[in-house]
Amino acid sequence: MSERVTKAVENHRKGYNCAQAVVCAYCDLMGVDEKEAFKMSEAFGFGMGTMGTCGAVSAMAVLTGMKLSDGNLDKPATKKQCYKAMKEMIKKFEEKNKSVICAELKGINGGNVLRSCDGCVEDAARIVEEVLVK
């Protein structure tokens, strides 16, 4: 496991939610202060607070914007690049875990647990490294 993947899992084990754990492991590479990254990704935990999209998957989206967006408020030109990268990352995550939905991953409503939160954090961090931090 790479140092940053390990850091993401450690972040989760010390109380960061799944999104915070992943975003904060890579925020310095994206030029964002860890406290700001922690704050902006807080509501993405617990599947956006509602067991919707997995927080670790949401973290991949946050990091994609940090890395690939041109930040051009007048004429944004990087949306398609961000969407393409996110599509690739979601595909990789789904291939490994069969879902990107927190409740499904956790086996809520009588289903099988597909992946632990630590496992989702680890998978998302590995995918970030493959796609964004080459």
- Nearest CA to 102 out of 53, 48, 32, 33 is that of 53
Residues 6+ apart with CB under 8 A from 82: 64, 65, 68, 69
Q: In 3-state terms, what secondary structure has residue 55?
A: helix
Query: What is the band of 1 on the pLDDT scale with cuts at 50, 70, 90?
Result: confident
Predicted TM-score (pTM) of the model is 0.95
For residue 125, the model assigns a pLDDT of 98
Residues 6+ apart with CB under 8 A from 131: 85, 88, 89, 92
pLDDT in tens, 68-115: 999 999 999 999 999 999 999 999 999 999 999 999 999 998 889 999
For residue 109, the model assigns a pLDDT of 82
* Percent of the chain whose pLDDT exceeds 70: 100
For residue 110, the model assigns a pLDDT of 83
For residue 128, the model assigns a pLDDT of 98
Residues 6+ apart with CB under 8 A from 16: 24, 38
pLDDT in tens, 56-79: 999 999 999 999 999 999 999 999
Return d(Cα 123, Cα 117) in angstroms, integer.
10
Inter-CA distances, 23 with 58, 59, 95, 104, 108, Å:
9, 5, 22, 22, 25
